[in-house]
């Protein structure tokens, strides 16, 4: 025998309050939604029907009166007594386009603040006024109202519980009605004060574009607390979406997803929607109204589907088109924007050639010749190079610049990928990554006589640094203030990493890594001593080769620190030993034999 499900309404209310709705305050939104939908249904048959919602809040009693289509007694039994049944879905169960609600649970939100809900309603189709009274324990009663309403419509009345008194305060009810329903196309009043604007600010008529811009800037400041750098109109016809994007006037954290204000059919869905824009567009905050996007059952978020994906892509295209237009019409405005939000544009440039051109032409990079755009850098340094780390750039910029090798700092986020993609927009753009060891070939050789005199010193220096896997060479280069330069290649760094892993691993891994190390070409790092530096010239002339070796170890440690290279335990020990050795020599007055 088939049996019908029994529903524990108190359990359902607990489910709504704890798991579906984020706060009891949504009861105002749900009551407004039902009232607006009832008015929409009546106006479909009678376009001249009044469109008003009157809310009275006093003494813990809240009533919401609308001029909507109302319900017959049969509809009251069918719709109000069955959880999940709604008149706002078609015969196939799909949401009807013109209505805000669709899930048949909106009225239950009243039980978040009250134990009893009464609905007095008269249908525009005819019939008497019906009174439905429901309680949170699941009981309900349907009867004829004591007096007939003069006009069709519905009045919902809540007598709030003592523990929900804060949600029934007149000021709170007015604020919530204004928050959720300020853009509704009906007149909503709370205790005699109108809370609706009527027309969304971005669709309001203004005498001039400047006046419209000022009005939207004021709207942004009221909603978000900042005056936007610019305002971008948004329009996605497939989603029935219109609105504006406000460009942040200060740098934003790209790791924090921006939140947006979303209305559905002019009823506020959420103030904190995320995922409406592509991740790269973290520099914008949106206010939009959509007719076709789907809400979740709680009506506090957007449902992820193909239409939302399409909307996100289209909004990204709108912002991208705004950037391109800004580059063409307002270069100063574009520079101001890039100074603040270059990360978002860089992220877009990774897969968009137009944005890559914009970055190439307008965004300044740190180079060995000072700040300049990539296009300017390529003109000045046709055979330029770039580094993939900030520390490497800082170590090598002065040296490479002095040798005529242009260098771009590609160590910040997205930069190295952008530099590698430049060939997509300019096949002649040759910007290769700098191999630090390659720079040694651009450094001039020392004077042959000086190198001959320094041969004993170089032999002692090579012996001191050989255990550290480093070679010593003498060169003559600018800037003269730099005594030593530590240069290593990627192959040498890989070789060093293998050796360190072998030394710290267990016996089995030591054998495996040792075999790998032997298979890798032994490309050793170099300590390049600058003979043009006065200190280096004095060190190479030291008669005490033991002291000279200690000095070279100190220069080696200083070059590692200057280049922000990681220090291995052996490097740290060498640096400490050389420092103590030189300190001991200085304390004893340089009298070592």
CA pair distance 45, 37, nearest whole angstrom = 13
pLDDT band at 90 (very low <50, low <70, confident <90, very high): very low
Of 12 and 522, the one with more pLDDT: 12
Cβ–Cβ < 8 Å for 145, 120: yes
Q: What is the pLDDT of residue 319?
A: 94
**pLDDT of 167 over the 90 cut:** yes
185, 247: one domain? no
240, 369: one domain? no
- In three-state form (DSSP H/G/I as H, E/B as E, the rest C), the secondary structure along 480-516 is CCCCEEEECCHHHHHHHHHHHHHHHCCHHHHHHHHHH
pLDDT band at 111 (very low <50, low <70, confident <90, very high): confident
pLDDT band at 216 (very low <50, low <70, confident <90, very high): very high
Q: What is the pLDDT of residue 496?
A: 55
Asked whether residue 518 is assigned to any structural domain, the reply reads no
pLDDT band at 244 (very low <50, low <70, confident <90, very high): very high
Asked whether residue 259 is assigned to any structural domain, the reply reads yes
User: Residue for token digits 């008529």?
Assistant: 205
Spatial CB neighbours of 340, under 8 Å, sequence gap ≥ 6: 229, 248, 249, 250, 251, 283
| Structural tokens at position 178 | 């204004």
212, 269: one domain? yes
Q: What is the pLDDT of residue 440?
A: 74
Which of the listed residues 439, 463, 478 is the one where a domain comes to its end?
439
Which of the listed residues 293, 313, 329 is the one where a domain comes to its end?
329
pLDDT band at 6 (very low <50, low <70, confident <90, very high): low
Q: What is the pLDDT of residue 87?
A: 42
pLDDT band at 88 (very low <50, low <70, confident <90, very high): very low
CATH of the domain at 384: 3.40.50
Q: How many structural domains comprise the chain?
A: 4
**pLDDT of 17 over the 60 cut:** no
Q: What is the pLDDT of residue 12?
A: 65
32, 179: one domain? yes
Q: Which of 49, 100, 96 is nearest to 70 (CA)?
A: 49
Q: What is the pLDDT of residue 89?
A: 37
Asked whether residue 82 is assigned to any structural domain, the reply reads yes
CATH of the domain at 480: 1.20.120.790
Which stretch of 229-233, 342-346, 429-433, 532-536 has the lowest confidence by average pLDDT? 429-433
pLDDT band at 85 (very low <50, low <70, confident <90, very high): very low
251, 279: one domain? yes
255, 215: one domain? yes
| Structural tokens at position 206 | 């203004």
113, 37: one domain? yes
pLDDT band at 15 (very low <50, low <70, confident <90, very high): low
**324-356 pLDDT tens trace:** 999 899 999 998 999 899 988 998 899 888 889
CATH of the domain at 175: 3.30.565.10
**Which DSSP symbol is given to 163?**
G
Cβ–Cβ < 8 Å for 438, 491: no
264, 182: one domain? no
Q: What is the pLDDT of residue 400?
A: 86
205, 320: one domain? yes
47, 183: one domain? yes
**508-518 pLDDT tens trace:** 555 554 554 45
Question: Percentage of the chain surpassing pLDDT 90?
Answer: 50
Determine if residue 93 is left, alpha or beta; phi over 0 gives left, psi from -120 to 50 gives alpha, anything else beta: left
Q: What is the pLDDT of residue 7?
A: 59
Asked whether residue 494 is assigned to any structural domain, the reply reads no
Which of the listed residues 266, 294, 329 is the one where a domain comes to its end?
329
Spatial CB neighbours of 60, under 8 Å, sequence gap ≥ 6: 159, 160, 165, 168
Question: Percentage of the chain surpassing pLDDT 70?
Answer: 86
> For the CA atoms of 356, 360, 366, 369, what is the dihedral angle to 10 degrees?
160
Q: What is the pLDDT of residue 202?
A: 96
Q: What is the pLDDT of residue 522?
A: 54
**pLDDT of 430 over the 80 cut:** no
Residue 455, classified by CB atoms within 10 Å of its CB into exposed (0-12), middle (13-18) or buried (19+), is exposed
**Beta-strand relationship, 432-433 and 407-409:** unpaired
CATH of the domain at 280: 3.30.230.80
| Residue 75 backbone phi and psi in degrees, to 5 | -65, -35
pLDDT band at 565 (very low <50, low <70, confident <90, very high): confident
Q: What is the pLDDT of residue 76?
A: 84
Of 296 and 51, the one with more pLDDT: 51
Asked whether residue 231 is assigned to any structural domain, the reply reads yes
Rounded mean pLDDT of 141-158? Answer: 90
Q: What is the pLDDT of residue 101?
A: 39
Of 128 and 109, the one with more pLDDT: 128
Upper half-sphere CA count for residue 112 (Cβ side, 13 Å) = 26
* Average pLDDT score, the chain: 85
Asked whether residue 122 is assigned to any structural domain, the reply reads yes
Q: What is the pLDDT of residue 445?
A: 87
Asked whether residue 3 is assigned to any structural domain, the reply reads no
**pLDDT of 84 over the 50 cut:** no
353, 266: one domain? no
Q: What is the pLDDT of residue 8?
A: 61
Range of the domain at 114: 9-194
Q: Of the segments 233-247, 285-299, 570-584, which one has the largest average pLDDT value?
A: 233-247
**pLDDT of 20 over the 80 cut:** no
pLDDT band at 48 (very low <50, low <70, confident <90, very high): very high
268, 378: one domain? no
**pLDDT of 593 over the 90 cut:** no
| Structural tokens at position 256 | 């924090």
Which stretch of 17-21, 218-222, 443-447 has the lowest confidence by average pLDDT? 17-21
Give the Å distances, CA to CA, from 105 to 9, 34, 81, 241. 11, 10, 11, 26
Asked whether residue 309 is assigned to any structural domain, the reply reads yes
Q: What is the pLDDT of residue 112?
A: 86
pLDDT band at 97 (very low <50, low <70, confident <90, very high): very low
């Amino acid at each position: 025998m088939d049996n019908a499900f029994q529903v524990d309404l108190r359990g359902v209310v607990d489910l709504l309050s704890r798991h579906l709705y984020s706060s009891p305050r949504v009861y105002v939104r749900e009551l407004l939604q039902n009232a607006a939908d009832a008015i929409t249904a009546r106006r479909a048959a009678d376009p001249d029907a009044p469109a008003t919602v009157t809310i009275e809040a006093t003494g813990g009693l809240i009533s919401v009166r609308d001029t909507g289509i109302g319900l017959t007694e049969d509809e009251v039994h069918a719709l109000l007594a069955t959880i999940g049944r709604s008149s706002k879905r078609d015969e196939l169960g799909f949401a009807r386009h013109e209505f805000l609600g669709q899930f048949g649970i909106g009225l239950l939100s009243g039980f978040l603040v009250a134990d009893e809900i009464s609905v007095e309603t008269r249908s525009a189709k005819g019939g008497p006024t019906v009174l439905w009274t429901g309680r949170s324990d699941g009981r309900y009663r349907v009867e004829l109202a004591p007096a007939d309403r003069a006009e069709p419509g519905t009045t919902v009345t809540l007598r709030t519980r003592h523990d929900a008194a804060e949600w029934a305060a007149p000021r709170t009810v007015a604020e919530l009605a204004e928050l959720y329903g300020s853009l509704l196309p009906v007149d909503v009043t709370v205790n005699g004060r109108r809370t609706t604007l009527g027309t969304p600010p971005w669709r309001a008529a203004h005498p001039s574009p400047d006046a419209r811009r000022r009005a939207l800037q004021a709207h942004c400041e009221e909603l978000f607390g900042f005056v936007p750098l610019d305002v971008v109109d948004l329009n996605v016809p497939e989603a029935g979406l219109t609105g504006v994007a406000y460009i942040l006037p200060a740098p934003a954290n790209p790791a924090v997803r921006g939140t947006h204000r979303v209305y559905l059919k002019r009823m506020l869905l959420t103030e904190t929607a995320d995922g409406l824009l592509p991740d790269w567009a973290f520099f914008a905050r949106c206010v939009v109204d959509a007719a076709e996007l789907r809400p979740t059952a709680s009506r506090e978020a957007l449902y992820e589907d193909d239409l939302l994906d399409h909307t996100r892509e289209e909004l990204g295209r709108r912002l991208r088109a705004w950037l391109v237009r800004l580059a063409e019409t307002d270069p100063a405005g574009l520079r101001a924007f890039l100074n603040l939000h270059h990360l978002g544009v860089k992220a877009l440039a990774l897969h968009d050639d137009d944005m890559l051109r914009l970055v190439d032409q307008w965004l300044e990079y740190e180079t060995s010749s000072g700040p300049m755009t990539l296009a300017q850098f390529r003109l000045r340094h046709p055979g330029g190079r770039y580094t993939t780390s900030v520390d490497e750039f800082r170590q090598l910029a002065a040296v490479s610049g002095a040798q005529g090798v242009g260098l771009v700092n590609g160590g910040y986020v997205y930069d190295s990928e952008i530099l590698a993609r430049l060939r997509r927009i300019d096949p002649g753009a040759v910007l290769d990554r700098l191999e630090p060891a390659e720079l040694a070939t651009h450094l001039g050789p020392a004077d042959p006589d000086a190198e001959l005199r320094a041969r004993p010193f170089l032999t002692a220096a090579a012996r001191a640094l050989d255990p550290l896997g480093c070679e010593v060479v003498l060169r003559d280069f600018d800037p003269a203030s730099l005594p030593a330069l530590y240069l290593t290649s990627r192959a040498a760094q890989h070789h060093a990493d293998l050796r360190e892993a072998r030394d710290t691993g267990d016996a089995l891994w030591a054998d495996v890594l040792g075999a790998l190390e032997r298979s890798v070409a032994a490309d050793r790092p170099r300590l390049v001593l600058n003979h043009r530096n006065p200190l280096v010239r004095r060190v190479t002339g030291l008669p005490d080769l033991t002291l000279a070796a200690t000095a070279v170890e100190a220069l080696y440690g200083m070059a590692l620190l200057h280049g922000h290279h990681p220090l291995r335990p052996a490097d740290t020990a060498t640096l400490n030993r050389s420092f103590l050795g030189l300190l001991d020599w200085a304390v004893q007055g340089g009298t070592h034999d």
